[in-house]
Chain A
Amino acid sequence: MNDVRIFDGPSAPRTNTAGDPSRRSFLRTGAAALGGMAALAAALSPLRELAADDVPNLDDFLQKHYKEMTAAEMEVALERIRAKVEERYGVRPHVRDLKPMDGVEFGYALNLSRCIGCRKCVHACVAENNQSRSPEIQYIRVIEMPRGTMDVEKGSHHYDRPEVPEAQHFYMPVQCHQCANPPCVKVCPVEATWQEKDGITVIDYDWCIGCRYCEAACPYWARRFNFAKPSLPREQLNPNMSYLSNRPREKGVMEKCHFCLHRTREGRMPACAEICPTGARKFGNLLDPHSEVSEILKTKRVFVLKEEVGTLPRFFYYFDERYPNQLDPDAVAIAERLREEEGDAYGALPGVNGPSAAALALASPQRCHGARA
C-alpha cells in the first residue's frame, strides 16, 4: 500500500508507463478530450440558427454547374427556385433561364456632362434586382467628384445635399463595366463566374463558394458579397427573375451588376438606363452601327475608367462638346479658375476673351507641319 500516493510530488518517481495509465493521466487526457469536444460543439453551434429552408437538401447539393446542366435539369433547378421563393416570400415568381441573343454585344455609355447625381439609378437597380435591403447591397455607386480632376480618390459617394447637381462637382456613377478581359473571371477558383456571348459577366450563385477573390480582383469595386443573410421585404420582391440575374441570393455568395439580363435579353432597357431622368445613361448593341452606343463611340469624346489596367470595359464615359454656359456664373468661374491653374491646356472660353495667342499658335497647322518637317 505504500506505493499508492494521494499526491505525486515533483520529486516522486514516475510510476506509470504508456501501457498502464494512472488516475492522474486519465483525468488529464479525459479533461482535454472533453474540453475539445465542447469547443467543437461550440464551433458548430451557429448551425442551430439555420432555418429549415437554409439547409440544402440533396438535390441542391447535387445540382450541376450552370454550363453542365441539360434543359431538363435546368427546369428542375428552376422549379426548385420557384418553390423556395414561394415559401419565403409568398409569391410565385416568373423564373426562367434566358440565353444571349445572336449578333448582340451589349455596351453602356454614360454622359458625364448630363449626370446630375440624383441616385435614381441606384435605387431603381435595387428594386429591380432584389438586392438585400439590410445590410444594403447596391451595384451602382455614384461618386461626387470635384470639378477639374478625374482622380476618383478625391470623390465621395456619401454626399447628402438638399439638391443636386452642386456647381463645384460633377457626378460619376460606377458599376460593373462588363470587361472584355475581366480579371474577376480569371481569379475565380471554381469557375462560378464567366463571360457570356453577349458580353455580360454572370455568376452562378449556386456554384459560388464565397472566397471573394473576384471582389479583390475587380478594379471598379463592382462586386458585392452577401456577408449576412439578405433581407428583402415580401412586398418589394420583383417576381420577374432569371437564373443568372436577380433571383434571390443566399448568404455567402457574390453578386454584381448583370446589365439586367432578364430585361435586356428580352429587348428591354436596363432599369438604371430607363429611370435616368436626364438621359445620361445609354444602352445598346455595340454590333449594331446605328445603335445609340455605337453613335456615341463614333461621334463623342469617350474614355474608359482605368484604361491602363487593360480590362477593356464595355462601359464608356463621354462628354458633350459644351463650353461653359455663359449665363451660369458658377460654370464660368470654375472654367476661369481651371484656366489659371492649368494654363491653356483647358482651352479658352469663346466669348469671354477668345482663345489665347499661345493656344492658337499651338493649334495652327503651320506649326504642326513645321514640327514634323
Chain B
Amino acid sequence: MMQHPHTPSSPRPPAGAAWLGWSLPVGFATLAVAMFATSRSSDIPLTQSAKVNPEDLVVGPRRVAMSDPPTILVNGQPQTCNGCHRIFDSAHPSGQQPNFHPTIQLSHGLNDRCVNCHDPRDRERLALRNGDTVSFAQTPQLCAQCHGTVFRDWERGTHGKTLGSWMTASAGQRRLNCNECHDPHSPRYEPLAPLPAPHTLRMGEQTSQVHDIEAHDISPLQRWLHGADERATP
C-alpha cells in the first residue's frame, strides 16, 4: 500500500472552496442547456412584408393629356372636336356645366369660362389672351399667361416632373407638360392613398403578433419565457 506523505504545512482550502469548485461545471452545464434550448430561435422579429400593388409603382405621367389634335369618344368612337362644334355653337356664357361633356368638372378658381382657354372659332385650338391661338401640345404657353412664376420654374426645371434621364439635353430626358400632371379643368392636385407604413427594425412597434408568425420556430423554453413576459404584464 502506497503511503501518502502527510504535509501538515500545506495551506487549508478556504471555507466554501469545494462549493466553488463544483459551481463551475454546474454553471457551464446550465449554460450549455440554455444555449442549446435557445439556439434555434432568433430574437429578430420578422414582419409581414408590406403589400404593395405593382400598379402603384408604374413610372409615367400622372394622367393622360389630351392628344393633339384633340379627340373625344362619342359612342365609343373617337371624334374630332370640330366634328360637332362646326354645327353647335355651344360656348355657354355663364360657364355652367356643358350638356355634352358630362365628365368635365370645372374647378379652376376664377377661371370659370370655357372660352377663357378654348378658341370659340376653332375648338381644336387654344386661345391666348392676345388673340393668338396655340395647339393642344403647346398647353404650357396658355397656362403661362396666369401662372407666370410657375412657368418660369417649369422652364428651368425647378417645377414639374422629368422622366428618363438626369442628363441635361439628353435624348432620353422628357419634361412633362402642365396637363400631364394637372387636369386643366380642375388643376388642384388630388390627394393619394399612401403606401404602407414602415415596419423596419428599430422603426416599428414590434408587437407580439410578430412572434406568432414564427411560432413554429420558437423553442419550448423561449415560448415559456415569452409566456412569462406576457403573464407579468397586466
Contacts and interface: CB of A to CB of B under 8 A. Distances in A.
A116 B170 CA distance: 29
A201 B89 CA distance: 63
A234 interface: no
B191 interface: yes
A241 interface: no
Contacts of B167: 267, 285
B121 interface: no
B44 interface: yes
A116 B189 contact: yes
Contacts of A136: 47, 49-50, 198-201, 203-204
Interface in B138-172: 149, 153, 156-170, 172
Given A133-B49, A282-B157, A284-B166, A35 B196 contact: no
B194 A117 contact: yes
Interface string B183-211: 00000010111111111110111000000
B197 A157 contact: yes
Interface string A250-278: 00000000000000100111000111111
A147 interface: no
A15 B4 contact: yes
A32 B161 contact: no
B116 to A, nearest CB: 17
Interface residues of A, number: 80
Contacts of B166: 264, 267-269, 273, 283-285, 291-292
A238 B146 CA distance: 44
Given A123-B56, A228-B46, A39 B28 contact: yes
Nearest to B155: A295
A233 B50 CA distance: 12
Nearest to B58: A275
A70 B47 CA distance: 41
Interface residues on B, range: 35 or more
Interface stretch (A73-81, A91-99, A159-167, A307-315): A159-167
A180 interface: no
Given A119-B194, A268-B164, A283-B166, A127 B49 contact: no
Interface stretch (A40-48, A58-66, A342-350, A356-364): A40-48
Nearest to A165: B191
Q: Kindly name the residue among B31, B40, B149 whose own CB sees the greatest number of chain A CB atoms within 10 A.
A: B31
B78 interface: no
Interface stretch (B19-27, B69-77, B128-136, B224-232): B19-27
A249 interface: no
A128 B98 CA distance: 45
A269 B164 contact: yes
Contacts of A36: 25, 28
A32 B29 CA distance: 9
A298 to B, nearest CB: 9
A283 B46 CA distance: 34
A41 B42 CA distance: 18
A320 interface: yes
B103 interface: no
Contacts of A279: 159-162, 176, 181
B48 A134 contact: yes
29 contacts: A13-B8, A14-B10, A15-B4, A28-B22, A32-B28, A35-B24, A38-B28, A38-B29, A39-B31, A42-B34, A49-B40, A117-B194, A122-B198, A123-B52, A135-B44, A135-B46, A135-B199, A136-B199, A158-B203, A159-B194, A268-B164, A269-B164, A274-B163, A276-B161, A278-B189, A279-B181, A283-B166, A291-B157, A295-B158
Closest 10 CB pairs of A and B: A35-B28, A279-B161, A42-B35, A292-B157, A38-B32, A133-B49, A31-B25, A35-B25, A163-B191, A119-B195
